[in-house]
Amino acid sequence: MADDHGHSFDGNHGIWQRGGLDVENLPDPFGTSQTGGTVPPVEPPAKPRRRWLRWGFNAFAALLLATLIWLIVTAPLGRALEPLDDPAMLLVSEEGRPIARRGAVKDEPVEAVKLDPMTPAAFVAIEDRRFRSHWGIDPRAIGRAMVANVRAGGVRQGGSTLTQQLAKTSFLSSDRSMKRKAQEVIIAFWLEAWLTKDEILSRYLSSVYFGDGVYGLRAASRHYFDREPERLTLAQSAMLAGMVQAPSRLAPTRNLALAQKRSRLVLQAMADTGVISLQRAKATKSARPTGVSSSVPTGTYFADWVAPQAAQAFDADYGEVRVETTLDADLQRLAVRAVANANIGDAQAALVALRPDGRVVAMVGGRNYGKSPFNRATQARRQPGSAFKLFVYLAALRAGYTPDSMIEDRPITVEGWSPGNNDGVYRGTITLREAFLRSSNAATVRLAEQVGRQNVIRAARDLGIDSPLTDRPSLSLGTSGLSLLELTSAYAAIAGGRYPVEPRGLPLETEADRGTLASFFARGGQMDDRRDRAPMLNLLWAAANEGTGRRAALSTPTFGKTGTTQNNRDALFIGFAGNLVVGVWVGRDDNGSLGKITGGSAPAEIWRRFMSPAIAIDGRRGPPLPSQFRVPQRREAPVRERESPLPDDWSEGGEAIREIIDLVEQLIEKN
Q: Are 384 and 563 in contact (CB under 8 A)?
A: yes
Phi-psi region of 136 (alpha: psi -120 to 50; beta: other; left: phi over 0): left
Residues involved in catalysis: 127, 386
Class of residue 2 by CB neighbours under 10 A (exposed 0-12, middle 13-18, buried 19+) = exposed
Q: Which of 177, 192, 138, 139 is nearest to 161 (CA)?
A: 138
Q: Are 439 and 549 in contact (CB under 8 A)?
A: no
CA–CA gap between residue 338 and residue 352 (Å, rounded):
12
Enclosing H/E stretch for 434: helix 432-437
Query: In this structure, are strands 15-18 and 21-22 parallel, antiparallel, or unpaired?
Result: antiparallel
Sign for the pseudo-dihedral over CA of 220, 224, 230, 232? negative
State which amino acid sits at residue 59: A
Q: Which of 584, 536, 230, 295 is nearest to 392 (CA)?
A: 536
State which amino acid sits at residue 159: G
Give the bridge partners for 353, in sequence order: 362, 582
For residue 500, whether the previous peptide bond is cis, meaning omega lies within 30 degrees of 0, is yes
Q: Are 518 and 535 in contact (CB under 8 A)?
A: no
Q: Are 85 and 78 in contact (CB under 8 A)?
A: no
Class of residue 170 by CB neighbours under 10 A (exposed 0-12, middle 13-18, buried 19+) = buried
Strand locations in 166-216 (E): 214-215
Sign for the pseudo-dihedral over CA of 472, 475, 481, 483? positive
Tell me how far the alpha carbon of residue 255 is from its chain's centroid. Answer: 28
**3-state DSSP of 589-608:** CCCCCCCCCCCCCHHHHHHH
CA–CA gap between residue 618 and residue 578 (Å, rounded):
8
Sign for the pseudo-dihedral over CA of 9, 14, 18, 21? negative
By three-state DSSP, how is residue 616 classified? Answer: helix
User: Could you please report the per-residue DSSP string of 288-331?
Assistant: ---SPP----S--HHHHHHHHHHHHHS---SSEEEEE-S--HHH
Q: Are 379 and 365 in contact (CB under 8 A)?
A: yes
Q: Which of 311, 492, 465 is nearest to 392 (CA)?
A: 465
CA–CA gap between residue 231 and residue 221 (Å, rounded):
9
Give the other-Cβ count within 10 Å of 155's Cβ: 10
Q: What angle do CA 383, 385, 387 make, to 5 degrees?
A: 115
Helices then strands, counting H and E runs in the chain, come out as 22, 17
Q: Are 582 and 350 in contact (CB under 8 A)?
A: no
Q: Are 106 and 216 in contact (CB under 8 A)?
A: yes
CA–CA gap between residue 188 and residue 182 (Å, rounded):
10
By three-state DSSP, how is residue 353 classified? Answer: strand
